[in-house]
Amino acid sequence: MSFTRIPAQSITPMLRASFSSSSSLAAPKAKAAKAISSCPAGTPLSNLSILKDKPDPVALPDDQYPAWLWTLLDEPAAPSLAKQTSKTESGSEVDLKAQKKTLKALNRENIKASNYLKSTT
């Protein structure tokens, strides 16, 4: 089995627009609004074949694609404050960013000390 690499310039502008984050599909307007495909069913998708001896794929109707596919262009949820802090066994909260910064600084100092000892011997 051999694969061919497809240059980015060969992707049609219509497909490139469907993958951009500024597309109107990125933010659904209402709960009842259903995302629709950028090309109608039966449209040959040129230059997207990944197998050398196979024909170009053909677009399917929207209902034949999995539901998770339409959520790929949605904006990711902002990280919550709960994920940035952690509780210890005693119940006190620890700021993970501050702890990571302290550990990085300590590691940096250990590396500098180790390098200094190597250079003096």
Q: How many domains does the chain have?
A: 2
What do you get for the CA distance between the two ends of the chain, in Å? 56
Do 59 and 116 sit in the same domain of this protein? Answer: no
Residues of the chain above pLDDT 90, percent: 24
> What is the tens place of the pLDDT at every residue in 27-39?
444 454 667 788 8
Rounded Cα gap, residues 2 and 38, in angstroms: 29
pLDDT of 14 over the 50 cut: no
Do 64 and 10 sit in the same domain of this protein? Answer: yes
Do 86 and 109 sit in the same domain of this protein? Answer: yes
Do 43 and 64 sit in the same domain of this protein? Answer: yes
> What is the tens place of the pLDDT at every residue in 64-75?
999 888 888 887
Do 4 and 26 sit in the same domain of this protein? Answer: yes
Do 94 and 60 sit in the same domain of this protein? Answer: no
What domain range is 28 assigned to? 1-74
Residue 98 · residue 84 · CB < 8 Å: no
pTM for the full predicted model = 0.36
